[in-house]
Amino acid sequence: MTFNEKMHWVALVGLVLAFGWYFATYPWAIANTQAGVWAAVGMLIPVTIIFLVPMIAGTVYFAIRTPTEATLKADERDKTIHLRGTHAAYYPLVLGVWANIFALINGVGFGYSVNILMATLVICELIRVGSQLYYYRRGY
């Protein structure tokens, strides 16, 4: 397993932990109030910490274990995998933004709109990282 693949696994776990906590503990009853919007903003601080701690710890751990692999530049395979993963996440991102626009036009409140955008971003990142892991495992 390459260093980049290991880092993608760490990112996947970090995303699931951080945003799983966010969406599980968000106060949905007050989502369309000003307090709900501020709750979303306030919850981004712990989400960032929950995501960054495994990323930093994983990077340090894997860089210490395999220092030569950690300093290698991305080869054509890594670049192709990155391109394919980003491409796979682009279309769901566009659909999510359009869904949010449609929801706003039809009267969905600002608090729900913020969470729709956040969910769109998280889903697309999970698709990007997941597809990149798939391509690493498949051998592209």
Q: Cα(52)–Cα(13) distance, rounded to whole angstroms?
A: 11
pLDDT category of residue 122 using cuts at 50, 70 and 90:
very high
**Residue with the two structure tokens 């930093």:** 56
From the list 62, 64, 55, the residue with the least C-alpha distance to 12 is 55
* 140 has pLDDT over 80: no
pTM for this model (two decimals)? 0.87
The per-residue pLDDT for range 47-98, each reduced to its tens digit, is: 999 999 999 999 999 999 988 888 888 889 999 999 999 999 999 999 999 9
Distances (CA, A) of 53 to 10, 19, 49, 66, 128: 10, 14, 6, 20, 21
Number of C-alpha atoms within 13 angstroms, CB side, residue 27?
A: 13
Positive or negative, the CA dihedral 123, 129, 132, 133 is negative
